[in-house]
Amino acid sequence: MSMEQRKAVIEKALGDKWNKLDSIIKLHYGLKPGRDAQLHLRGTMNEVYHSRIGKLFLIPGRIFGALVPYKGMAIPTEVRNWTSRGNKQAMYWHRRLFFPGKDPVIFRSKMECVGKNEIFEYVNYGMGIRLQTHAQNNALHFRSLGYVWKVGPFTLRIPNWAILGDAEIIEKAVSDRELFVDFNMVHPLFGKTFSYSGKFVIGKVIENERAKV
């Protein structure tokens, strides 16, 4: 395995800018594809929001396993990230949000680096979002460049405005064990369609243990 292949997904995308991130952000995104390792985060979403227009997309979006169909405040949330010896390209995500009186909402995805400062994050059935990455003020920023839908040998590109609008995600350090995530989607005509934000405590990396999918 080459030195480039040994790097984490976001490390490959950012290149030298990876070193500008706070250490807790590098810990979160430092799992290296091709190795069995996992990491757990626990925290609370201050708010999970969607607009009326956003709800029209969120409900069918659950077919693809994407995003969250409910609104709420102070939502307990667990995040599990892992990499696998069997996949030398991807970092996996498993999110669980616990809304009162409802079954846990599960949101799975995987991230792959596709070029300098660019990753794809895929959900089910070949649907994914293109994200531009950069480091700013020691924080990690993502900005959507559009969506892709892979169906067999074909790839359909979908602009931001055709779904929920422009997405921006910022992840920054709060302390040496806590981080803050802020995710917003804003449509050029309909305004904010979806958002969530919250603080998480990060655990230790567990090496050489295969994650239970």
Q: Tens digit of pLDDT for each residue in 160-207?
A: 999 999 999 999 999 999 999 999 999 999 999 999 999 999 999 998
Is residue 213 domain-resident? Answer: no
Instruction: Report the alpha-carbon distance of residue 122 to residue 128 in Å, rounded.
Output: 4
pLDDT recorded at residue 39: 96
Residues with Cβ within 8 Å of 169's Cβ and at least 6 positions away in sequence, in order, are 131, 141, 142, 181, 182, 183, 184
State the chain's mean pLDDT as an integer. Answer: 93
In a domain, 21, yes or no: yes
The pLDDT of residue 210:
67
Domain membership flag for residue 51? yes
User: Are 184 and 47 spatial neighbours (Cβ–Cβ below 8 Å)?
Assistant: no
Q: Report the distance separating Cα 70 and Cα 111, nearest Å.
A: 24
Confidence of residue 3 (pLDDT cuts 50, 70, 90): low
CATH of residue 167's domain is 2.40.128.20
What pLDDT does residue 13 have?
Answer: 98
Scored b (16 or more CB within 10 A) or e, 36-62 reads: bbbbbbebebeebbbbebbeebbeebe
Q: Which tens digits make up the pLDDT trace of 105-122? A: 999 999 999 999 999 999
Structure tokens at 204: 């230790």
The structural domain count of the chain equals 1
Domain range enclosing 148: 9-205
Tokens of 38: 């996992």
C-beta of residue 182 within 8 angstroms of C-beta of residue 169 = yes
DSSP 63: G
pLDDT digits (tens, 9 = 90+) for 59-95: 778 888 888 999 999 999 999 999 999 999 999 999 9
Share of the chain above pLDDT 90, in %: 81
Asked, for residue 3, whether it belongs to a domain, the answer is no
148 assigned to some structural domain = yes
